[in-house]
Amino acid sequence: MNATYKKMVKMAMTTVMAGGIMMMGQSAMAAPAQPQVHVDSATKDMPGHVASKVLDVKADKTEVGLISNVVYEQVPSRGYANVPMQMDILQPKTKEKKPAILFVTGGGFINANKDNGIQLRMHLAENGYVVGSINYRVAPTAKFPEPLEDVKAAIRYLKANADRFGIDPARVGIVGGSAGGYLTAMAGTTSGTTTFDKGENLQVTSDVKAAVDLYGLSDLTQVGADFSEEVQAKHRSAGATEALWVNGSPVFGGRDGGILVDKQAAEAANPIHYISKTSAPMLLMHGTADTVVSPSQTDLLYQALQKSGIPSERYLVTGAAHGGKYWVQEPVLKIITDFFDQYLKK
């Protein structure tokens, strides 16, 4: 065997050995050995050692993380060119892609505190949903449809950042209460259209697969229809928040008068007006003791959805007011979760 041949054999063997070592190293990195734990070995032989209690736990509850104050868009508002609209995200810590739900808080059209609804949001997150909660523009410095544009921008943001947050963008729903229920209904009935899509992430849609409207408004000209004439008169006044929502404030270029001053504008702000074959399946719930928004509001929408053949359900919650403790009870949370599971998981 000459020197050149010996050198070639030696190089080949070195290459094979190096490859084997690399493969072993990759295998070890892929599946690191679980370190052994010798529990209390450092203390068990101490004189007078007292044994601890042992708790066996079944780890079947999902861990949830919070990502706060995520900016989902920047919009002109209150004289500023780029006011950040923010979202808090509850994220189940699992590896697979999960469906997402956007929570839209209420606030009488004049507030939008994304801290609200924490028990509902946590319940949904613990049941395997990424849950975003948003603030949005409100009256009197904003008017319809600007807040709806914010809601749709938030839906698009979740879809556009699906990989970042572990979301399946094909499985997105929406839920809200009161004014948030109204915006949820608007997002649900206009799903499948681009009518109110404006701003960022327009490469994805704002469609939703399911919508849950909790004691929301629908026909803004009849918000007080189940109440006394005195209350109904207040809802017809120029100071009613639904009037500011549709007409804006005359101080900021809006139209003066109550909700009936521009019936065409009020109709354009009614989710019933947008029901079509692409509208999302909808669950509606209302309390029988609601003295803020007439229970008829969700029934008007429910009857219209049923007439148009849109899959929909409606529940009256006995004794429940406008928000409050009834809405965080297990039977209510289960109905909401089961509805989302039907359309976002099955």
CA torsion through residues 315, 214, 179, 194, sign: negative
Mean pLDDT, rounded, of the chain = 92
One-character DSSP codes across 107-162: STTT---TT--HHHHHHHHHTT-EEEEE----TTTS-TTHHHHHHHHHHHHHHHTH
pLDDT tens for 108-131 read 999 999 999 999 999 999 999 999
**pLDDT at residue number 4:** 52
Q: Which residue has the tokens 């006044």?
A: 237
pLDDT per residue as tens digits for the range 99-114 = 999 999 999 999 999 9
As a whole number of Å, the end-to-end CA separation of the chain is: 70
Strands 312-317 and 98-104: unpaired
Could you tell me the pLDDT band of residue 252, with boundaries at 50, 70 and 90?
A: confident
Q: What is the pLDDT of residues 180-227, one digit of tens each?
A: 999 999 999 999 999 999 999 999 999 999 999 999 999 999 999 999
User: Are residues 310 and 274 in contact, defined by beta-carbon separation less than 8 angstroms?
Assistant: no
pLDDT band at 30 (very low <50, low <70, confident <90, very high): low
Taking CA atoms, 9 is separated from 12, 13, 19, 62, in Å, by 5, 6, 15, 56
Contact 302, 272 (CB under 8 A): no
Higher confidence at residue 23 or residue 321? 321
pLDDT of residue 211: 98
- Kindly tell me if the per-residue pLDDT of 2 is higher than 80: no
pTM, two decimals, is 0.89
Over residues 33-43, the pLDDT tens digits come to 889 999 999 99
